[in-house]
Amino acid sequence: YEFHASVCVWTRYSDGTVKLRNSNIELMDQDILYHLALGSESHDLHEMFGDVKFVCMGGTPKRMENFAHFIMGEIGYKLPAGTKLEDISAYSYRYSMYKVGPVLCVSHGMGTPSVSILLHELIKLMYHAKCQDPIFIRIGTCGGVGVEGGTVIITEEALDSHMRNAHEFTILGKTVLRPAKLDKKLARELKALASEDDPYDTIIGKTLCTNDFYEGQGRLDGAFCEFTETDKMEYLEMLSSKGVVNIEMESTIFAALTYHAGIKAAVVCVALLNRLNGDQVNAPKEVMHEWQNRPQTLISRYICKTLAQK
């Protein structure tokens, strides 16, 4: 499979606003962002979201609410008097969304279909709101491959289950492959923000994105398993020999859709376990909770640094 190298160039206007690659949208009276409980006529999206610079996503509503509170303290943002942090998409009953000044914090659920729906609507939201040069970041969890629990992993390349640096779409019954490219420079910038004083490692490597947590990730402990432990270990060793350091379930769609939209993106996950040692996620809750703050800390350093430069 081959990709054209230049897709990114014309997907943004010279002022950095997101150009929509779908002319149908301009012709509609109103665009309803159904799963966000927002609409282009029912809401003044430019007024509400025009200042957004960072769109941070993670699996669960609670983690993203926590991140919103955390980043508020870190960037010293004060909510308008008399208001409190509220879930903007509460009435979608699908995703949660919190806005802290230039930072949007959104839950994306599990797996590529959930992220796909959200990204279509968030990319359109960036367009309607006329956001300039927004950056999309996934803050997630993953299984490490030869990497201990608690390690922070920045994705340099997202691979699908066939080891392609692409995401496979089915559109009108046809298979379409789109490149799953992340911003390499952004990944290096994030790596540089890891501190020697951090009591854990922050590494860069390839990420395998699967459509399942159990059989799809070579686990022996699902409801079904029709391969042996030897098969599993051979598979994980093969992944490791190709530079794969972690496995999760969203990176290819995240990379493919942001790249298609000309939006810079990064994926930063914390490993919950080392898959070479087992399959069950069994670290104590408090430990796991602390681990999940680690990618947030890195992204907070990036956001603070970027805002200070403006």
Residues that bind ligand R2B (CB under 6 A): 59, 110, 140-142, 213, 248-250
State yes or no: 141 annotated in a binding site. Answer: yes
Q: Which of 116, 141, 155, 202 binds ligand URA (CB under 6 A)?
A: 141
Rank residues 31 and 248 by Cβ distance to ligand URA and give the closer one.
Answer: 248
Q: How far is the CB of 110 from ligand URA (least distance, A)?
A: 8
Burial of residue 174 (number of CB atoms within 10 Å: 0-12, 13-18, 19+): exposed
> Within 10 A of 106 (CB to CB), how many other CB atoms are there?
26
Q: Which of ligand URA, ligand R2B, none binds 59 (CB below 5-8 Å, type-dependent)?
A: ligand R2B
Q: Is 219 annotated as a binding residue?
A: yes
Structure tokens at 272: 């919950």
Contact 145, 278 (CB under 8 A): no
Please report, as a single letter, which amino acid is at residue 273: L
Q: Is 143 in the site for ligand URA (CB under 6 A)?
A: yes
Q: Which residues are CB-neighbours of 97 under 8 A, at least 6 positions away?
A: 36, 64, 87, 88, 89, 104, 105, 106, 107
**For residues 227-286, which are near ligand URA according to CB under 6 A?**
247-249, 272, 281
Helix 61-75 × helix 285-309 angle, to 10°: 40
> What is the distance between the alpha carbons of residues 73 and 209, in angstroms, rounded to a whole number?
33
The site string for ligand URA over 96-125 (x = CB under 6 A, - otherwise) reads ------------------------------
Q: How far is the CB of 68 from ligand URA (least distance, A)?
A: 22
Mask 201-230, x = binds ligand URA (CB under 6 A)?
Answer: ------------x---x-------------
Nearest to 229 by CA among 237, 208, 211, 160: 237
**Widest CA span of the chain, in angstroms?**
60
Report the binding-site residues for substrate: 217, 219
Q: What are the residues binding ligand URA (CB under 6 A)? A: 141-143, 213, 217, 247-249, 272, 281
